[in-house]
Amino acid sequence: MERAELEKIIREKLKEIMENSSEQSVSEKKDNSFMVEASGRHVHLSKKHLEFLFGKGYELTKVKDLSQPNQYAAKERVRVIGPRGEFSNVVILGPCRYFTQVELSLTDCRDIGVKGVIRESGDIKGTPGILIGVGDKYLQLDEGVIVAKRHIHMTPEDARRLNVKDKEIVKVKINSERPVIFDDVLVRVKDSFRLAMHIDYDEANAAGYVSGVTGTIIKE
């Protein structure tokens, strides 16, 4: 084979490789999948209730940052006590909120005898109450127990890219070894959010969830 012919073949091969690489890069940029996270039972405390349980002026001790900016898991733990049972060592998520909220799965609610009410976080009016204990201190909540509605956190930029809006209800396919499509998924849009879908352990188990699983919004 002559040198000129060989160089032509090499140039054509390099061009093909570069074009394929470019197409792959564009494909990656158009990937609309996002991280899915499974949340276990946890408690959000108001400052007033934190001080009631742990003492005046008490501050939570951060041990692990969460995916959402400025949110963290605290070192402190509480007991969550229902009519038929209780959970010990329940994590507190910080920082403190204006209200106290206990987030459980439907299975959790059944196990301790509390009615499972599916709500968006913060919508606690008319929800069941529960007892929270730390040592010899007990806090009786008249309301505040919810099963968190599955949802996606995202920024306005994410919302534009995914063609959705705040409070929209969408379907999401979980891209796992046991894929499922979840209906009734709430979109939550805010500048301070980081793109991620949150489901509880009941939902995660149904979908064969493992760390690193992604989700994709399904448009009709």
Extents of the domains making up the chain: 32-36+150-218, 39-148
> How much is the average pLDDT of 185-206?
97
In this prediction, residue 60 carries a pLDDT of 98
The tens digit of pLDDT for each residue in 91-130 reads 999 999 999 999 999 999 999 999 999 999 999 999 999 9
User: In terms of residues, how long is the chain?
Assistant: 220
Nearest to 75, CA basis, from 56, 55, 89, 61: 61
Could you write out the three-class secondary structure of the chain?
Answer: CCHHHHHHHHHHHHHHHHHHHHHHHHHHHCCCCEEEEEECCEEECEHHHHHHHHCCCCCCCEEEECCCCCCEEEEEEEEEECCCCEEEEEEEEECCECCCEEECCHHHHHHHCCCCCEECCCCCCCCCCEEEEECCEEEEECCCEEEECCEEEECHHHHHHHCCCCCCEEEEEEECCCCEEEEEEEEEECCCCCCEEEEEHHHHHHCCCCCCCEEEEECC
First to last CA, the chain: 56
Q: In the numeric block, which tokens belong to residue 156?
A: 């306005």
Confidence of residue 22 (pLDDT cuts 50, 70, 90): very low
Report the amino acid identity of residue 100: T
- Number of other CB atoms surrounding residue 57 within 10 Å: 7
| Average pLDDT for the chain | 91
Confidence of residue 2 (pLDDT cuts 50, 70, 90): low
Q: Where is pLDDT greater, at 31 or 35? A: 35
CB 139 within 8 A of CB 181: no
Confidence of residue 219 (pLDDT cuts 50, 70, 90): confident
pTM recorded for the entire structure: 0.83
Q: Tell me yes or no: is domain 32-36+150-218 CATH 2.60.40.1190.
A: no
Tell me which residue has tokens 């987030």.
103
pLDDT surpassing 90 at residue 3: no
